[in-house]
Amino acid sequence: MKFVIVTGMSGSGKSRAIAAMEDIGYYCVDNLPPKMVRSFTQLCLQADGQLDKVAIVIDARSREIFGDIFEETQNFIETDRQFEVLFLDCDDAVLVQRYKETRRRHPLMDEHSVSIESAIEEERRMLAKIRENADYTIDTTYLSVNQLREKIVEIFLDDKAQSMLVNCMSFGFKYGLPKEADLVFDVRCLPNPFYVPELKLKTGLDAAVREYVLQWEQAQKLIPKLFDLLDYLLPLYRDEGKTQLTVAIGCTGGKHRSVVFAQLLKEHMDEQKIRVAVTHRDITKHKK
């Protein structure tokens, strides 16, 4: 199991970072009190393999209740190196500007620290040792949200192709277009197994239907063209920060041709090591 502690300056983008880590498969907990980290870790280890990547945000918000969280965190890190530490930093002037724009109160502002500048200065002093010993440091001063996400992907995901989940969906046009579809392809141009009596009640998951759909020359020519188009488009969507893409394949009823092609797309993306799921929206529906 891989654990990551996400910490850093307040206003430096920890919430954005944790959202990016969720997108690449991390189970994320925000603002976990440091004294609960050990117990939480044990719970994760007892989850029977259901959790393999966990990220925990620890920052200045817990300080008043749980004491000096940064000393507690440092002690934990020094005694248990199964954790990696991601530290997010940002220029002080930019942090001040961000707080002024959002009108939020810095978590260290109290009767002893009444200005944003002094609160930032105190937080930087408290975080100095952890920043020095962090496994990864990202300066977000000049980063856009997408650029920060790209850095998270580069650090914590071995294969960039895994940063986007592709859902291959079959559907029937007579039941309406899927609202969540990003790309829609129509395979009603192919011969329809529905009109073959022995195939009518079967679906595209049955070998006989798949064999029938794929035996035609037009299907054989369509497959490489479809694969080639998606092989070109998916990296473009991924580079734009898209985390989920639904590719919908439609036929008349959503039971035969579209199912076959949705399965073909899934198999192709599995070969490309792309995170992929398949959904057959209308496979069990019947004409009313």
The pair of structure tokens assigned to 17 is: 């970072």
The average pLDDT across 154-176 equals 84
Give the pLDDT score at 173.
Answer: 96
Q: pLDDT digits over 234-265, tens only?
A: 999 988 878 789 999 999 999 999 999 999 99
Question: Where in 144-226 does DSSP place strands (E)?
Answer: 165-172, 183-186
Give the pLDDT score at 66.
Answer: 42
Lowest mean pLDDT among 72-81, 252-261, 267-276: 72-81
Token pair 């592709």 in the structure block, residue: 166
Give the pLDDT score at 270.
Answer: 92
Distance CA 74, CA 184 (A): 51
Q: Where are the domains of the chain?
A: 2-157, 162-280
Distance CA 193, CA 209 (A): 7
Distance CA 169, CA 46 (A): 35
The average pLDDT across 59-79 equals 57
* Interior/surface letters 101-132, b for 16+ CB within 10 angstroms, e for the rest: eeeeebbbbeeebeebeebbebbeebbeebbe
Q: Which residues contact 140 (CB under 8 A, 6 or more apart)?
A: 12, 13, 88, 89, 90, 148
Banded pLDDT at 213 (limits 50, 70, 90): very high
Give the pLDDT score at 76.
Answer: 59
The pair of structure tokens assigned to 270 is: 């599995």
8 A C-beta contact, residue 23 and residue 33: no
Residue 102 Cα to chain centre, angstroms? 26
- For residue 176, the tally of other CB atoms under 10 A from its CB is 11
Q: Percentage of residues in the chain with pLDDT exceeding 70?
A: 87
Lowest mean pLDDT among 14-28, 99-113, 158-172, 250-264: 99-113
Answer with the residue of higher pLDDT: 190 or 33.
190
Q: pLDDT digits over 178-210, tens only?
A: 998 999 999 999 999 999 999 999 999 999 999
Would you say how long the chain is, in residues? Answer: 288
CATH code, residues 2-157: 3.40.50.300
Q: pLDDT digits over 109-150, tens only?
A: 765 556 888 888 888 888 888 888 888 899 999 888 888 988
